Amino acid sequence: MIKTKPAAFVKGNKYAILFLFFTLAGWVISQSKVQLHESAQVAYAFNQQLIEKEHQAEQWMDTLFKQLENNTFHSWINRNSYTIDNWYKDKGLAFYVFKENQLWYWTHNALVLPNDTLWYHANFQNLGNAWSEVRSLKQNNLLLIALIPIKNSYPYENEYLKNTFHPSFKLKCPMSLTVDNSQGKPIYSKEGTYLFSLQNDQTCEHKSKTRLAIFLLLTALIFGLLFIREKFKGQKFSINQFLVFSTVLIVLRALMQIIQQPSFLGTLPVFQPQYFAFSVLFPSLGDLLITISLLVYLLLIFYSKVELVPAKTIPAWQANFTGWIWLLFIAAYAALVHILFYHLLIDSNFHYEAYDILNLSVFSLIGYFILMSLFIGLVLLLDKAANQLKGQVSPARWLQWVIIVLTVVSPILYVSNQKEGLIPTFFFALMIVFWYWIRQKFSPRFGMVIILIALFSAYATYFIRVQNHSKRIEESKVLAVNLAREQDPVAEVIIGEMLQTLHSDSTLIDILQEEWFRFDELIQYLNSNYFTGYLGRYNFQLTLCNPTDSVLLEGTDERWAHCHSFFDTLISKNGTKTAIPGLYHLKNRIGGINYFVETTFYLTSGWEDVTLFLELISKPNFEVLGYPELLLEKPLGLYSSYTDLSFAKYTNNQLVEHSGDYPYALDQPAYLQTNDEFKVFQEQDYDHLLYQTGESAVLVSFPMVKFYNVVISFTYIFLFLLFLVTGLLILGNRFTPIIDFQFNIRNKIVYSLITLLLVSLIIIGGATVFYTYQQYERTQNDLLAEKMQSVLIEIEHKLSNITTLKELEPTYLSSLLVKFSNVFYTDINLYDTNGYLLSTSRNEIFEKKLTSPKMHARAYREMVINKKARVVHKEHIGNLEYYSAYLPFVGANRKLLAYINLPYFTREVVFRQELLRVVVAVINIYAFLIMLGIAIAIYMSNRITEPLRMLQNRINKIDLSKKNERINYKGNDEIAQLVYEYNRMLDALDSSAKLLAKSERELAWREMAQQIAHEIKNPLTPMKLSTQQLERSWVNKDADFEQRLKRFTSNLIEQIDSLSAIASAFSQFAQMPQPRTEKVNLVERLMQSTQLFKECTYVEVDFDFDTHQAIYIKADNERMLQVFNNLIKNAIQAIPPTKQGKVHLKLNQKNDKVLVSIGDNGVGISKEFENNMFQPNFTTKSSGTGLGLAIVKNIVEEFGGSIWFESEYGKGTTFFVSFPVIDTITRIYS
């Protein structure tokens, strides 16, 4: 026995033990300094992968050499083109073939090769955009080099450029790379040469620990909930117990937030305030999620575990007071929901517009989950209130109370300038009234929950639309103010880079160091090399000064002024420092954007030193090719937040700058005539914000959200909430009964239709999206090809007379490409016949070594080797994928001069956004069709099952004691066959009922005759014996004859009384009236029977059921009273007078059955008598006919019920009676 105690303890507390174990494990993992990814093991695995790559590289180099020696290289390349094109991506290998020290062929252009001819002798080096291992093989005049990229090393990182290890290295956790062999774990080549070292990335290590700790703590939470469920299974809480339980959890949550434990949670993005922050209570979205989850959990416990006193059992004034408390509490909770929803929308930097589904973030989904959880809490409160107030507070009175609350709240909202809260208030009032009315008047079904979900979804959709519009207006104000400051953050970034490049530009320095340099040459050089691309939207004015120079000030009073002093004064009066040294923003009174650049060159010859003063002035209404995000180190805030935004700037009523799709007027439009600083209005399906400051005005515009988009948002919110609530209800049923999901024919049809519709729509929608994507790509290819042809025509027109590109000045060729780039709104590259870059309109891409100045290897193979006339394919720079087109350029003598390339990386983001809009539109349509399909499925199932429900109701009303009505169905389908069979069955039942009644009467009378004979025989025997004894006494002239006569007379009268009682009982049995089938409230009959026996002195009769609950069965009121009277009387008679008796009545309803139990603590029934208890002639009492239980059994079974008993001899007996319920009462929440 001692050995089993620990095992029993563990088994009884297994969930608590697991909860403690996983909690402790999660805490230890989060606090420990143990490395989950041992650096030595990671480095060893990495080194093995690298050695395997080295072997592969040598094998491929041997193969390439053989093909080169056999002069089969080109044919072999074409045969293995797919494998070669994927060497870099899949294997992490790039090969380069040199002939006589000239690059002749390459397999990939991602890596930038150094200009040094001996660069390949270093085993490991940084190529500018990647750290790579170098392996080479040389024979005669051939040199093969294999590069194994290890890790990217871009000069900066952004969305597309990430300095990560090559994906072909399967690293469990990213590590940092160093060339210091004294740090980290060294990595060697297969020959044993040191290459570099790997160090553990603590950030990654911390993330791994955090993920593991979160998993352990979530597991602990599940076991904790299971422990609570197991501990309190079947138990109920009092209000005080619930308050103590809630206080403990709330205190634990507060301590968790105050001491910030677990500490690792703070490192997760969802717990960081830059995404959401409201107050000290909710400093992050994660904190709000935890707190709201705890709140809803407590409401669920309150709903399912706390028993409240029914309002019917208390005085009316107390019930009304309780109702008001409930209403005010629910109103306060609804206000909390609304306030939290408001701050979720306003105090977050992610959006909730569901129609733009592909732009919803994980944080958006968490916000929606929080909102849905609050909605579930509201439903729990509403249902709990309706259950307690049922039967005492009518729906009409509840409605009156709600109207009173609205009458008080609405003026307060109006006066306090919170009119936007009026419509949400009415939404909540409608939900509160609707659900209370449903719970009081009808048996609630899941369809009613769907209506409530639709109401809440409508509220959420409306409020999201209103608040998002307000939020966008406020953000537009910030953007308008920034635009009015006339600054260009993109230009500032580029100018900062330009200033660094100027001082290392040897050509510029040579020009400045000439004793007599040509100023025009300097202007042309700056214009051609620096003021192209994005800076092409600026004119510039250059002034050169040494420390002693002066400048001539033009005007009515021309005069000379010291150069440095003049510009210093200009900057101090009109300039504002920027974050970039030497760059100032100038105020511009005539509109546009002005910058001023000051930088000094310290020269070794010519000028001692010279300062360049550059004034940049934006060109009016100038729009050039946009600056790609690929070249920006970080996003530009509000400028890039909205892709559909347009803006315009007016100065002195004239348009000076504009951007976006909206067609602004050149002159001052009528809507600029206002004295307000800000003005919001709508025009041409756009929302506009006007900001006026002095003589300038900024107009920010964005498309209006159409009604279609609002419907789509409602659809997504409704579906999300529907699936969430359904899932939670199904999951909740495993822990506590919440809703009864009946898998009947109607629901089978609904589920089948919904499943069929979902599968069909998903397949068709997926195919549509795929087709749309393919069609869109084909369209883009066609547009790119047309644009390529237009560029080719223009270049041929400009360069039609040249026979070689060497005739052209590089600056001229570059400026020509920039010009065409701005005209055709695409970047242009020009490669020579060997695949080397000749000129480009976007020099920054190559200057920053983001990619190699070589043609893409596949394009080079197709154009040079296979002589294709055009190539259009996808290329990559970092993670940016874009289309790139190639065409050959032929000179005047029909000789191939170069290859024209149009890389569409500048417009790729725009194309991707346009494609996403198309995909989102398709997804939105199918989401709406899914919701519509669900509605149609429900409607169709109702239509299909309506005849079946009619049959069910008719069959349910069949009464053998009267004439049943036939069904008149006019259809000609399967239902008609069922109706025909039903009507035929009724006819057969009528005749069978008559025969059965006759048979039952004959059988009853036979049994009665037998019983009468038996019962009469019992008293006749002692009467006969007494008579014989009296006769003998008379004959014998006994002395005590008179006394014998008196005893005889007394006994005879007693036996005659017994015979009379028997005759009365059989008379009652024979004259039993025909039963009346009616709707019987079983609870009322039980209470009536219980009251009859309440006055019994030595037996306590009590009950355990809700006296205010109505459970109806199909029976006879008087017969039911007879049944329960008989059973209770038998229970009382089974208890000896010497024992304090107890009779306990209990009632339980499960699904469509109700069970009544009547138990006593009497003598019980011995095993030998159990089989005879319901026999008409059997009794265990000293007196009685033995017909009571037989009559009870007949009555119960006559109305479709059943009766049985359980007994333990010496301890008592319990009789059970079960009846079918007329209408199954489905509780939505228990």
Q: Is the confidence at residue 256, as pLDDT, over 80?
A: yes
SS3 701: strand
Question: What average pLDDT does this structure show over 1195-1206?
Answer: 88
The secondary structure element, H or E, covering residue 69 is helix 39-69
Separation CA 171–CA 50 (nearest Å): 12
pLDDT in tens, 592-637: 678 889 988 887 765 667 888 888 887 765 444 455 666 666 555 4
Structure tokens at 1178: 């059997």
Locus of tokens 């045969």? 79
- 854 or 996: whose pLDDT is higher? 854
pLDDT of residue 668: 66
Q: Is the confidence at residue 810, as pLDDT, over 70?
A: yes
pLDDT in tens, 879-899: 888 888 999 998 877 888 899
Structure tokens at 299: 């409401």
pLDDT in tens, 46-64: 899 999 999 999 999 999 8
Lowest mean pLDDT among 282-291, 558-567, 853-862, 1030-1039: 1030-1039
Lowest mean pLDDT among 258-262, 270-274, 908-912: 908-912
At 417, the amino acid letter reads: N
pLDDT of residue 1185: 55
The gap from C-alpha 828 to its chain's centroid, in whole angstroms, comes to 43
Burial class (CB in 10 A: 0-12, 13-18, 19+), 787: middle
Question: What average pLDDT does this structure show over 177-197?
Answer: 88
- 808 or 433: whose pLDDT is higher? 433
Burial class (CB in 10 A: 0-12, 13-18, 19+), 1097: exposed
What phi and psi, each to the nearest 5 degrees, are found at residue 738? -120, -45
Separation CA 998–CA 235 (nearest Å): 53
Smallest CA-to-CA distance from 1214 within 1203, 1222, 1202 is with: 1203
pLDDT of residue 1178: 61
pTM of the complete model beyond 0.85: no
**Helices 506-513 and 519-529, interaxial angle, to 10°?**
170
pLDDT of residue 909: 62
Question: What average pLDDT does this structure show over 126-148?
Answer: 90
Question: What average pLDDT does this structure show over 1135-1162?
Answer: 86
882 and 905 in contact (C-beta within 8 Å)? Answer: yes
Question: What average pLDDT does this structure show over 839-864?
Answer: 88
Lowest mean pLDDT among 282-296, 434-448, 1198-1212: 434-448
Q: Is the confidence at residue 1228, as pLDDT, over 50?
A: no
**DSSP string covering 798-849:** HTTT-S-GGGS-HHHHHHHHHHHHHHHTS--EEE-TTSBEEEES-THHHHTT
Lowest mean pLDDT among 213-227, 360-374, 556-570: 213-227
Q: Beta partners for 176?
A: 199
Question: What average pLDDT does this structure show over 219-232?
Answer: 74
C-alpha radius of gyration, the chain, whole number: 46
Locus of tokens 């024209």? 900
pLDDT of residue 849: 86
Structure tokens at 986: 């009724």
pLDDT of residue 1011: 63
Q: Beta partners for 1218?
A: 1155, 1202
pLDDT of residue 1156: 92
Q: Beta partners for 1176?
A: none
pLDDT in tens, 509-556: 888 877 676 777 888 788 777 887 677 778 888 888 888 888 877 666
Question: What average pLDDT does this structure show over 653-665?
Answer: 81
- 1064 or 801: whose pLDDT is higher? 801
Residue 516: DSSP 8-state: T
Q: Is the confidence at residue 1229, as pLDDT, over 50?
A: no
pLDDT of residue 1187: 66
For the beta carbon of residue 1176, count every other beta carbon within 10 angstroms. 20
pLDDT of residue 906: 60
Question: What average pLDDT does this structure show over 784-813?
Answer: 82
pLDDT in tens, 458-499: 999 999 888 888 888 888 888 888 777 767 777 888 888 888
736 and 304 in contact (C-beta within 8 Å)? Answer: yes
pLDDT of residue 1001: 67
Question: What average pLDDT does this structure show over 65-71?
Answer: 87
Residues 1128-1159 as b/e (b if ≥16 CB within 10 A, e otherwise) read bbbbbbbbeeeeebbbbbbbebeeeebebbbb
Q: Is the confidence at residue 798, as pLDDT, over 50?
A: yes
pLDDT in tens, 1049-1098: 876 776 677 677 667 666 655 555 566 778 888 888 888 778 767 666 67
pLDDT in tens, 712-751: 888 888 888 888 877 776 665 555 555 555 556 666 777 7
Smallest CA-to-CA distance from 655 within 687, 218, 646 is with: 646
Q: Is the confidence at residue 1186, as pLDDT, over 70?
A: no
875 and 857 in contact (C-beta within 8 Å)? Answer: no
pLDDT of residue 1226: 39
pLDDT of residue 334: 92
pLDDT of residue 592: 67
Separation CA 472–CA 474 (nearest Å): 5
Q: Is the confidence at residue 686, as pLDDT, over 50?
A: yes
Whole-Å CA distances, 201 to 173, 248, 698: 8, 40, 48
Structure tokens at 1025: 């014996």
Strands (E) in 55-99, as ranges, are 94-99
Q: Is the confidence at residue 440, as pLDDT, over 90?
A: no
SS3 1164: coil
Q: Is the confidence at residue 995, as pLDDT, over 80?
A: no
Residue 276: DSSP 8-state: B
Residue 967: DSSP 8-state: P
- 803 or 320: whose pLDDT is higher? 320
Q: Is the confidence at residue 912, as pLDDT, over 90?
A: no
Q: What's the pLDDT band for 1 if we cut at 50, 70, 90?
A: very low
What percent of the chain stands above pLDDT 70?
83
pLDDT of residue 194: 92
The gap from C-alpha 801 to its chain's centroid, in whole angstroms, comes to 63
What percent of the chain stands above pLDDT 90?
9
pLDDT of residue 1025: 62
Q: What's the pLDDT band for 145 if we cut at 50, 70, 90?
A: very high
pLDDT of residue 656: 77
pLDDT of residue 900: 92
Residues 340-365 as b/e (b if ≥16 CB within 10 A, e otherwise) read bbbbbbebbebbbbbbbbeebeebbe
Separation CA 1147–CA 1156 (nearest Å): 5
Lowest mean pLDDT among 383-387, 411-415, 726-730, 1036-1040: 726-730
